[in-house]
Chain A
Amino acid sequence: MKWLRENLFSSWPAGVATVLIFLALWKIVPQFIEWAFLDAVWRPDPKACREADGACWGFIAEKHRFILFGTYPHEQHWRPAFATILLIGLWAFSLARAFWRWWLALVWLAGLVAIGVLMWGGLFGLSYVENERWGGLILTLLLTTFGIAFAFPLSILLALGRRSDMPVIRALCVGYIELIRGVPLISVLFMASVMLPLFLPPGLTMDKLLRAQIALILFAAAYLAEVVRGGLQAIPKTQYEMADALGLRYWQKMLHVVLPQALRIAVPPLVNIFIGFFKDTSLVLIIGLFDLLSTVKVSLTDPAWSGFGVEAYLFAALVYFAFCFAMSLYSRRLEASR
């Protein structure tokens, strides 16, 4: 009773707001439950879907293989499935601070080699699958993983360069960071898809996936660099001075004194950038790669199943949400445990 009074009816306007919200929920929630659950069709039967009043989850049931694995050969789907589980496992394993040791890099290396073997094949009796046929969830996860793996070291160099006392190096780094941060990701992706082929020496070509990956790396590095810079700025000046007093060279000072502390401070905002980056990989759809969102969109072009876009995109949103929300809970826990 006390809780009710304090949290719902603390004053007249608050009471009115409570009643209004309650009435709105009273109307909306049952309708939504009817649509999403009670009247929904769960079997992959387009005819039943068209006749029903509710949602057509049968669409997801019918297309889940394509949505998750894209155009990967059907009888080989266990390979991307296994690779997806392995990759998620690697990420989950890396969350614990206790495992942040040098050997974690070896674990990742082994894991990524295993994923490469699974996806490409051509070894151990696995048939070869070219990467044009990769798609779905694993593509989204791989673009994120490799994007972060390469962008992160680059961003540290950029952040150090931006704080360097050498004007030329600082200007180059500032110019790069501000240029990338000033333009939309889609323009960087366009650059990779239409301009990069022109940049290469004649005769040399690069496949679409690699080009998109390079664009994502270049883009992410600029944003990560600003977060790393924030971490560097948070280190008290005395730390720099003490390292100098010990006679450490620039790189010794950075590697052994400054960066370990700065990166530790920067972890929660870094995770937030990772979340943003994970969401941003969905833009590769616009340059024609088959990531998770693309496979959902392509599934809708099947004439037998057209018109179930609301269900399809809700499902896509839920999949992305599951990953992003897990990461943001993790970031919050890290912040609280400091």
Chain B
Amino acid sequence: MRRVAYQAAAIAVALLVAWFLVHNTAVNLEQRRIASGFSFLGRDAGFEISESPFLSYDSSGSYLRALTVGLVNTLRVAIIGVLVATVLGTAIGLFRLSKNFLLRTLAAAYVEFIRNSPLLVQLFFWYVLITNALPPPREALQPLSGVFLTNRGFYFPLPGSVPVLEGFNFTGGMVVTPEFAALLAGLSIYTAAFIAEIVRAGVLAVSRGQWNAALAIGLKRGQALRHVVMPQALRVIVPPMASQYLNLTKNSSLAVAIGYPDLVSIANTAMNQTGQAIEGVAIIMAVYLTISLSISAFMNWYNARILAR
């Protein structure tokens, strides 16, 4: 009886709070003459987006189109970031366990320094490093023939299209903007420090006997790591790794601070232009929730497969 009363009270309170918020919002929207709903998505956005490598977009595109470009940009930086962070993080995690003193110490210093300062500071740092420390296009650094590093972006040659200096900037080839480069560097370097700790803990969790047994049958250290220790360490590594991938994806929303046109940054512009704050925040939250739930579903499936092996 008590249990039923408690739960009924909880539902009542939740409904009351929800009603209070919805009611206030409705009154406020009416006072401010803001029409709610998602019809604004069909209207012309009227703003430019600085990069859209896969979808064509210009300022006469709709808000829906603009948000889609933002989502694609978010996924682009998140997917590449996850790959880079995994490789870098695994390497640094293994370096931390290395017998080599220099390698071990440098890896530990990396982890400590990167983990203990905010990602946002690091993003700003990489961004000013690229835009302040690199030369303008006319004096571009050319580490390899056809590759140009400038404060306006990095230019790489593609088959049939080579970057050429025209006026104040390069045209042709493939361009990586400073915003994308800074965001990718920041996200991968930051997340790699956390992944390194996960990998280290995972390897340490495999019992000493497994190492000894592998070495006793004549495997080298590297072979023992690859064929005996890592497969077992993966069981410990995968669940926290999934949450790091999620974190990286969510952290990519900091793009708005350095002007990379990700979903949040475009939704923010749309909110400022249309005043559709509720819809804007709802879209951002819905998209990230979907991504979060998909990644955790995939990781659960993968984890189950590893455990079954």
Binding site for B on A (CB under 8 A): 6-8, 10, 14, 17-18, 21-22, 25, 166-169, 172, 179, 181-187, 190-191, 194-195, 197-202, 275, 279-280, 282-283, 285-286, 293, 297, 307, 309-310, 312-314, 316-318, 320-321, 324-325, 328
- The answer to whether residues A321 and B288 also contact, given A168-B10, A186-B253 and a CB cut-off of 8 A, is no
Q: Which of A8, A181, A190, A324 is in CB contact (< 8 Å) with B116?
A: A324
| Chain A residues with CB below 8 A from B103, complex form | 17-18, 21
Q: Does B83 contact A (CB under 8 A)?
A: no
Contact call B100/A313, Cβ cutoff below 8 A: no
Given contacts A184-B251, A195-B277, 18 further A-B contacts (CB under 8 A): A7-B100, A14-B100, A18-B102, A183-B284, A184-B288, A186-B256, A190-B281, A194-B280, A198-B278, A199-B21, A199-B25, A280-B118, A283-B120, A310-B132, A313-B121, A320-B116, A320-B117, A328-B116
* Nearest Cβ on chain A to B41's Cβ, whole angstroms: 18
| Chain A residues with CB below 8 A from B289, complex form | 179, 182-183
Q: Which of A185, A198, A285 is in CB contact (< 8 Å) with B25?
A: A198
Contact call B284/A169, Cβ cutoff below 8 A: no
Contact call B264/A199, Cβ cutoff below 8 A: no
* Nearest Cβ on chain A to B286's Cβ, whole angstroms: 9
Contact call A310/B129, Cβ cutoff below 8 A: yes
Chain B at the A interface: mostly helix, strand, loop or mixed?
helix
CA distance A200 to B21 in the complex (A): 7
Closest to A300 in B: B128
Closest to B25 in A: A198
CA distance A324 to B99 in the complex (A): 28
Contact call B10/A187, Cβ cutoff below 8 A: no
Interface string of B103-132 (1 = CB under 8 A from A): 100100000110111111110110111001
Closest to A161 in B: B10
| Chain B residues with CB below 8 A from A279, complex form | 117-119
- The answer to whether residues A10 and B281 also contact, given A186-B254, A198-B25, A282-B121 and a CB cut-off of 8 A, is no
Contact call A313/B251, Cβ cutoff below 8 A: no
| Chain B residues with CB below 8 A from A200, complex form | 24, 28
Q: Which of B7, B132, B268 is in CB contact (< 8 Å) with A190?
A: B268
| Chain B residues with CB below 8 A from A14, complex form | 98-100
Contact call B128/A187, Cβ cutoff below 8 A: no
A-B contact pairs, 10 of them (CB 8 A): A184-B250, A184-B284, A194-B271, A198-B277, A293-B120, A309-B128, A312-B128, A317-B122, A325-B112, A328-B115
Interface string of B204-236 (1 = CB under 8 A from A): 000000000000000000000000000000000
* Nearest Cβ on chain A to B297's Cβ, whole angstroms: 12
Q: Does B292 contact A (CB under 8 A)?
A: yes
CA distance A186 to B112 in the complex (A): 25
Total A-B pairs in contact (CB under 8 Å)? 162
Q: Does B298 contact A (CB under 8 A)?
A: no
Contact call A169/B7, Cβ cutoff below 8 A: yes
Within B148-162, the residues touching A (CB, 8 Å) are: none
| Chain B residues with CB below 8 A from A172, complex form | 10, 14
Closest to B126 in A: A313
- The answer to whether residues A195 and B118 also contact, given A184-B253, A313-B125 and a CB cut-off of 8 A, is no
| Chain B residues with CB below 8 A from A7, complex form | 99-101
Contact call B253/A275, Cβ cutoff below 8 A: no
Closest to B116 in A: A324
- The answer to whether residues A166 and B99 also contact, given A198-B25, A283-B254, A286-B257 and a CB cut-off of 8 A, is no
Contact call B118/A310, Cβ cutoff below 8 A: no
Contact call B133/A293, Cβ cutoff below 8 A: no
Q: Does B309 contact A (CB under 8 A)?
A: no
CA distance A6 to B98 in the complex (A): 11
| Chain B residues with CB below 8 A from A184, complex form | 250-251, 253, 264, 284, 288
* Nearest Cβ on chain B to A175's Cβ, whole angstroms: 10
| Chain B residues with CB below 8 A from A167, complex form | 7
CA distance A7 to B24 in the complex (A): 67
Contact call A169/B10, Cβ cutoff below 8 A: yes
Contact call B7/A182, Cβ cutoff below 8 A: no
Q: Does B3 contact A (CB under 8 A)?
A: yes
Q: Which of B7, B251, B253, B257 is in CB contact (< 8 Å) with A168?
A: B7
Q: Does B35 contact A (CB under 8 A)?
A: no
Closest to B8 in A: A168
CA distance A317 to B112 in the complex (A): 12
CA distance A25 to B105 in the complex (A): 13
| Chain A residues with CB below 8 A from B264, complex form | 184, 186-187, 190
| Chain A residues with CB below 8 A from B112, complex form | 325, 328
* Nearest Cβ on chain B to A236's Cβ, whole angstroms: 22
Within B1-56, the residues touching A (CB, 8 Å) are: 3, 6-7, 10-11, 14, 21, 24-25, 27-29, 31
Closest to B251 in A: A184
Closest to A10 in B: B99
Closest to A315 in B: B121
| Chain A residues with CB below 8 A from B304, complex form | none
Q: Does B285 contact A (CB under 8 A)?
A: yes
CA distance A186 to B74 in the complex (A): 14
* Nearest Cβ on chain A to B17's Cβ, whole angstroms: 10
| Chain A residues with CB below 8 A from B133, complex form | 310
| In the A-B complex, the 6 residue pairs with the closest CB atoms | A309-B128, A324-B116, A7-B101, A194-B277, A168-B7, A279-B118
Contact call B285/A187, Cβ cutoff below 8 A: yes
Q: Which of B24, B28, B256 is in CB contact (< 8 Å) with A286?
A: B256
Contact call B285/A183, Cβ cutoff below 8 A: yes
| Chain B residues with CB below 8 A from A275, complex form | 116
| Chain B residues with CB below 8 A from A17, complex form | 100, 102-103
* Nearest Cβ on chain A to B190's Cβ, whole angstroms: 10
| Chain B residues with CB below 8 A from A324, complex form | 115-117
Q: Does B293 contact A (CB under 8 A)?
A: yes
CA distance A211 to B136 in the complex (A): 42
Closest to B277 in A: A194
